[in-house]
Amino acid sequence: MRLRTPFGRQQSRFTGIVVGAAAVLTLAACTGSAQDAADEDGSNDAPVAAAGSNDEEGEKVTIGFSAPAADHGWMGAITSNVRDLAEQYPDIDLQVAEGTNDVNLQISQVETFINDEVDAIVLLPFDGAAMTPVALKAMEAGIPVINVDREFDDPNAARVTVLGDNYGMGVSAGQYVCEQAGGDKDVVVAEIAGIDSLPLTQDRSQGFKDALGECGLDVDARQAAEFTVESGEEVAANLLQAESKIDYLWNHDDDQGLGVLAAIENAGRDEFTMIGGAGSANAMRAIQEDNSVLKATVIYPSTQGADGVKLARLLLQQKAMSDLVEVEVPRTVQLYAPVVTTDNVDQYIDTAFES
């Protein structure tokens, strides 16, 4: 079957670079997805983008973006970062669908993108598994899907996957505590987690536990909040009541952290060091000012959606990530979870999200 849609032609260009124009149509006929094209041998003199040239204006690309409702500072930042990025590139025509927590609606949004024949879809699913069928449908229609943050349950449903590192967040926080404790095995470590049943919370806690284990520490008290300010306040108030002395407190999320800090203030406690999570601008300003218990936070980048859009643009314009030798956009990009302290806060505060 020959692909006669605009996408079919576009995809054939990937292949065309490698094998020459004569074979383009034939190959396009059997190229089901951009992934297949990527599997072709890329070791010839394909035009590798020189460093910096990726930002130069290329052909116009239409990118559809859909994400869950912005009911949390981090999620709000995802969409606003995407919009800001699209404004910087005159060659990106961004279509943003309504933020929703109803998968039925999100599916119909993606279907609309497919009907519209957008060039690529960047999708942060409310539920990765539930959005898999429609993502597969888009890929089958020749539209590359860039999956952000919450993974599909079928690897064929996305050309590129951009992920944060939840386990790595826990590890970073744990390593920071180990470093600060400096070998003291008697310190009291407390943890306020996010929604406990979510895999991301379990990953974060596991990473924290594993990293602490490396230096012979463990979590002495652990409570789960719900990523909201109210729940953070409530849980922290109880935790502080229960533990008369704490040395280190890791709170998974800076949005709920506003509540945690309020509870700490109400209880008049300042004997411990608090580490945040996600990396909100509030938290970073507190770290910068250095006058509260909050001394550090671990980043879960809210720029994932924007990175997804950027990768979609590179993919569509047949540009590679110019700092890599590889001539195709990678399959999976996992972002790093660095620890932010007074020493390096200036480096991160510009990309932090407002909660």
Cβ-based nearer residue to another protein, 95 or 223 = 95
Residue 97 interacts with another protein (CB under 8 A): yes or no: yes
x-or-dash string of contact with another protein, 126-145, rule CB under 8 A: xxxxxxxx------------
Cβ-based nearer residue to another protein, 125 or 259 = 125
Kindly state the smallest distance separating residue 116's Cβ from another protein, in Å.
6
Q: Which two tokens stand for residue 6?
A: 């605009």
Residues near 74 by Cβ (< 8 Å), separated by ≥ 6?
Answer: 253, 255, 278, 280, 300, 302, 353, 355
DSSP state of 280: B
Scan residues 172-231 and list those touching another protein (CB under 8 A): 197-198
Among residues 255, 317, 316, 318, the alpha carbon closest in space to that of 282 is found at 255
CB 312 within 8 A of CB 64: no
Q: Which two tokens stand for residue 211?
A: 């990293």
Residues near 49 by Cβ (< 8 Å), separated by ≥ 6?
Answer: 319, 320, 322
Contact segment (CB under 8 A) with another protein among 95-103, 222-230, 288-296, 343-351 equals 95-103
DSSP string, 302-335: TTHHHHHHHHHHHHHTT---TTSS-SS--SEEE-
Residue 70 interacts with another protein (CB under 8 A): yes or no: yes
Question: What does the alpha-carbon distance between residue 238 and residue 50 come to, in Å, rounded to a whole number?
Answer: 56
x-or-dash string of contact with another protein, 226-265, rule CB under 8 A: ----------------------------------------
Kindly state the smallest distance separating residue 66's Cβ from another protein, in Å.
9
Map tokens 């972002």 to a residue. 335
Cβ-based nearer residue to another protein, 12 or 79 = 79
Kindly state the smallest distance separating residue 18's Cβ from another protein, in Å.
33
Contact segment (CB under 8 A) with another protein among 98-106, 174-182, 265-273, 339-347 equals 98-106
Residue 95 interacts with another protein (CB under 8 A): yes or no: yes
Kindly state the smallest distance separating residue 130's Cβ from another protein, in Å.
4
Cβ-based nearer residue to another protein, 35 or 112 = 112
CB 148 within 8 A of CB 179: no
Kindly state the smallest distance separating residue 39's Cβ from another protein, in Å.
27
Kindly state the smallest distance separating residue 224's Cβ from another protein, in Å.
12
Contact segment (CB under 8 A) with another protein among 32-40, 120-128, 176-184, 271-279 equals 120-128
x-or-dash string of contact with another protein, 148-167, rule CB under 8 A: -----x--------------
CB 180 within 8 A of CB 219: no
Among residues 263, 256, 252, 259, the alpha carbon closest in space to that of 297 is found at 252
Residue 308 interacts with another protein (CB under 8 A): yes or no: no
Kindly state the smallest distance separating residue 114's Cβ from another protein, in Å.
8
Choose, by CB under 8 A, the member of 115, 244, 325, 350 that binds another protein. 115
Question: What does the alpha-carbon distance between residue 151 and residue 197 come to, in Å, rounded to a whole number?
Answer: 17
Among residues 272, 327, 328, the alpha carbon closest in space to that of 295 is found at 272
Kindly state the smallest distance separating residue 75's Cβ from another protein, in Å.
11
DSSP state of 344: T
Which pairing describes strands 189-193 and 339-340: parallel, antiparallel, or unpaired?
Answer: unpaired
Torsion-angle region of 136 (φ positive above 0: left; ψ -120 to 50: alpha; else: beta): alpha
Choose, by CB under 8 A, the member of 56, 57, 116, 346 that binds another protein. 116
Question: What does the alpha-carbon distance between residue 38 and residue 299 come to, in Å, rounded to a whole number?
Answer: 31
| Binding stretches for another protein (CB under 8 A) | 69-70, 94-105, 107-109, 111-112, 114-116, 126-133, 153, 197-198
